[in-house]
């Protein structure tokens, strides 16, 4: 179980990114984190694995207080936390297989990792994960030769290669077209269910959050203003999270109208991503 108590983050500029945030995530539970830009969503998930240092509060994963750790103990604890990044964070010049195997760097020695020598069990696990995310035919391709959807699948496989108990997922669909976004979210939720993984998904798309994530936490100005079922995201709740808007319109429709210049239209079909098989 992940327990966050009174988490606060103040940057050196004096800006408060998080203001006493508290919640728990049960084993196997997927939680969506929504809110306007600047609400503290990315800061929050980066505090969990200590990519950002909290100013105050505590973070506990199981029986380990992550906020008390440093050095080797922190590196060891990070093995338990996989992260999937918005911009994929792949090494472009390395192959798909090499990128996935980088998820095992916390388990092998420095020289073995520098020479890219991994145990046979790790290699077989990587093959299995690539098969599971539908990338068996791309094992030897360089990461920079892949589409956005394929890169995100490599990132998913790399995170799972750590054999984590918690996934932190930062805007996994921000760079993807609508069809591929659904496929990636479906893949993430299916894989988490299969493995009993807990996860926090920082997601900008409220409609996708409602579709795939049963529990939603809404942040505004660094504070939790909603924590409940996705079905509970009423117009009043959305106003509490995002501010005044005509929430009677479908969310996607309202966003499209705001984003498009006057007298222009968008194709109903839109771009189509590469198929993403979930078996």
CATH number of the domain where residue 131 is located: 3.40.50.300
State residue 148's pLDDT score.
Answer: 87
Whole-model pTM: value is 0.82
Q: Is residue 10 part of a domain?
A: no
Q: Is residue 216 part of a domain?
A: yes
State residue 272's pLDDT score.
Answer: 36
What is the span of the domain harbouring residue 87?
Answer: 27-52+72-250
Q: Is residue 61 part of a domain?
A: no
State residue 186's pLDDT score.
Answer: 93
Which residue positions in the chain have pLDDT lower than 50? 253-279
Q: Is residue 77 part of a domain?
A: yes
Q: Is residue 20 part of a domain?
A: no
Give the count of domains, the chain: 1
Q: Is residue 165 part of a domain?
A: yes
pLDDT in tens, 41-54: 999 999 999 999 99
**What are the CA-CA distances from residue 42 to residues 37, 47, 56, 151, 259 (Å)?**
10, 9, 17, 20, 23
State residue 240's pLDDT score.
Answer: 93
Q: Is residue 57 part of a domain?
A: no
Q: What are phi and psi of 2, to 5 degrees?
A: -100, 130
């Amino acid at each position: 179980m992940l327990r966050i108590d009174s988490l606060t983050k103040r940057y050196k500029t004096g800006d408060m990114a998080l203001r006493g945030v508290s919640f728990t995530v049960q084993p196997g539970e997927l939680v969506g984190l929504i809110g306007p830009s600047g609400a503290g969503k990315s800061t929050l998930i980066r505090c969990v694995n200590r990519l950002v240092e909290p100013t105050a509060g505590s973070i506990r994963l199981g029986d380990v207080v992550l906020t008390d750790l440093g050095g080797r103990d922190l590196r060891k604890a990070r093995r338990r936390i996989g992260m999937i990044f918005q911009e994929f964070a792949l090494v472009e010049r390395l192959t798909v297989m090499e990128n996935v195997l980088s998820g095992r760097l916390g388990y092998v020695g420095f020289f073995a990792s520098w020479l890219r020598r991994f145990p046979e069990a790790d290699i077989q696990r990587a093959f299995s994960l690539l098969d599971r995310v539908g990338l068996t035919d791309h094992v030897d391709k360089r990461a920079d030769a892949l589409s956005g959807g394929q890169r995100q699948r490599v990132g998913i496989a790399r995170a799972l290669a750590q054999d984590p108990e918690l996934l932190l997922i930062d805007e996994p669909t921000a760079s993807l077209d609508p069809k591929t976004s659904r496929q990636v979210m479906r893949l993430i939720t299916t894989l988490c269910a299969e493995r009993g993984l807990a996860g926090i998904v920082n997601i900008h798309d409220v409609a996708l959050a409602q579709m795939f994530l049963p529990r939603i936490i809404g942040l505004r100005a660094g504070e939790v203003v909603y924590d409940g079922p996705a079905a509970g995201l009423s117009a009043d709740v959305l106003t509490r999270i995002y501010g005044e808007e005509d929430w009677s319109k479908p969310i996607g429709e309202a966003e499209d109208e705001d984003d498009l210049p006057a007298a222009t239209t968008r194709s109903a079909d839109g771009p189509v991503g590469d198929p993403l098989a979930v078996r």
